[in-house]
Amino acid sequence: MWIYEKKLQYPVKVSTCNPMLAKYLIEQYGGADGELSAALRYLNQRYAIPDKVIGLLTDIGTEEFAHLEMIATMVYKLTKDAKPEQMEEAGLGDFYVNHDNALYYNNASGVPWTASYIQAKGDPIADLYEDIAAEEKARATYQWIIDMSDDPDLNDGLKFLREREVVHSQRFREAVEMLKEERDRQKIF
């Protein structure tokens, strides 16, 4: 089970109300390679994976929920003072008529999140490569959003998150190598 602690993993600031940037950033909230995908993927894989990898999946999965909360806070701060006209100008008129200034788990194009984005195969090697790929794709997504952003405060948070994906990718690579070595020691087939 999880205990909620009322603080963010890393402080979140935005320079100004900027719904256009929120529109892009929501890709990491409810998009294919966003934080929701990450958290749900890792926590779900914990059950059919060798014991020695469970802790890693729990740690990273839990951290991804903290990232999801950071993204939610960023999106909210970028839009909370936006009037309907500003939402409209930012291309968020379609979002506004459905959700007002609330949040929702969809990608930047408005497509709702689906579990089809993630996988669990019960094969540890396959699952860990899925996880490495996920981290690399999340890293790329942060890069494309940073390319679009000229908000230095927001970018500080986004760069922190991008770096965490690089670290996670490295840890999953170590785990897959460890399991492959072990497999090679144990069986000859």
**Do 35 and 179 form a contact (C-beta atoms < 8 A)?**
no
Range 138-157, binding a second copy (CB under 8 A): 139-141, 143-145, 147-148
**Do 170 and 183 form a contact (C-beta atoms < 8 A)?**
no
**Using the rule CB under 8 A, is 160 a contact of a second copy?**
no
**Using the rule CB under 8 A, is 86 a contact of a second copy?**
no
Q: Round to whole Å and give the CA distance between 149 and 123.
A: 39
- Torsion over CA: 83, 86, 88, 90 (sign): negative
With CB under 8 A as the contact rule, which of the stretches 11-19, 26-34, 153-161, 180-188 interacts with a second copy? 26-34
Range 93-132, binding a second copy (CB under 8 A): 93-123, 125-127, 129-130, 132
**Using the rule CB under 8 A, is 36 a contact of a second copy?**
yes
Size of the site for a second copy (CB under 8 A): 85
∠ CA 148-150-154, nearest 5°, is 95
